[in-house]
Structure 1
Amino acid sequence: MYDQTRAQQPADRDQNRTERRPAAPDALLPSEERDAVLDRLRKAINTFADAPHDALEEAEGAFDDAAAHLANALAERRRALHEAWQDQDPEAHGEELRLALRQYRELTQRLIRM
């Protein structure tokens, strides 16, 4: 059955246009490290037809580089987060502690989604 009253109401998506979307999370790897890994991966893909074994070795090296860079970036992020709250007085800096907890949660959720 056609509902004329509902049909005349603005669409829900028009209301959502004014809402701000959350900012994208910071990249875990600096752009130069990310670009170097992606260049190695592209090289592997582009050389696969002529030299599959060499291409796979290059792809494996790109993966190893990405994993090493990621491990280093995560260790640095953890160190910075830990230093931010480690010596704080829980009552005097409650907001900073909540922010640290939120950052741990967001980073952990990103890791789980990988």
Structure 2
Amino acid sequence: MMYDQTRAQQPAGQTGSTAERRTPGPEPLLPLSDRDKIALRLGHALNTFTDTPRESLEEAEGAYDEAAAQLVGALAERRRTLRAAWEDQDSTTPSDELRHALRQYREITRRLLQL
């Protein structure tokens, strides 16, 4: 049986995405269920390496490719949402609203640089 660290860190009575949204810090780029599926694939690859090394490497590569593709998709969606929030604003838009968009760009870019 696998130990689920995410659940262990959640307050009692909270499970799934509700608890994930209540945790401090930035919103995760990928949903918890997608991250769990990829982690399971990678874990399976690691656990079966001794018996089937080539197949394990192929499975690990597939997990990597899936994570990268989902991350690219999530980043593209985040960019689209951010741009839509300020792109159609006119020149009289309060600078506070534009500053908020700038902070969001800064936060996501910093997170990318830390990967």
State the TM-score, normalizing by the size of structure 2: 0.76
**1:32 is matched with which residue?**
33
Shift of 1:94: 1.5
Q: Structure 1: which 5+ residue stretches go unaligned? A: 1-22
**1:78 is matched with which residue?**
79
**2:106 is matched with which residue?**
105
* 2:87 partner letter: Q
**1:89 is matched with which residue?**
90
Identity of paired residues, percent?
57
* 1:112 partner letter: L
Check the 8 A contact 1:41/1:62 in 2, yes or no: yes
Q: Distance in 2 between matches of 1:35 and 1:93?
A: 41
State the TM-score, normalizing by the size of structure 1: 0.77
| 4+ residue segments displaced more than 4 Å | none
Check the 8 A contact 1:45/1:55 in 2, yes or no: yes
Q: Structure 2: which 5+ residue stretches go unaligned? A: 1-23
Q: Distance in 1 between matches of 2:91 and 2:99?
A: 10
Question: Root-mean-square deviation (CA), in Å?
Answer: 1.0
* 1:98 partner letter: R
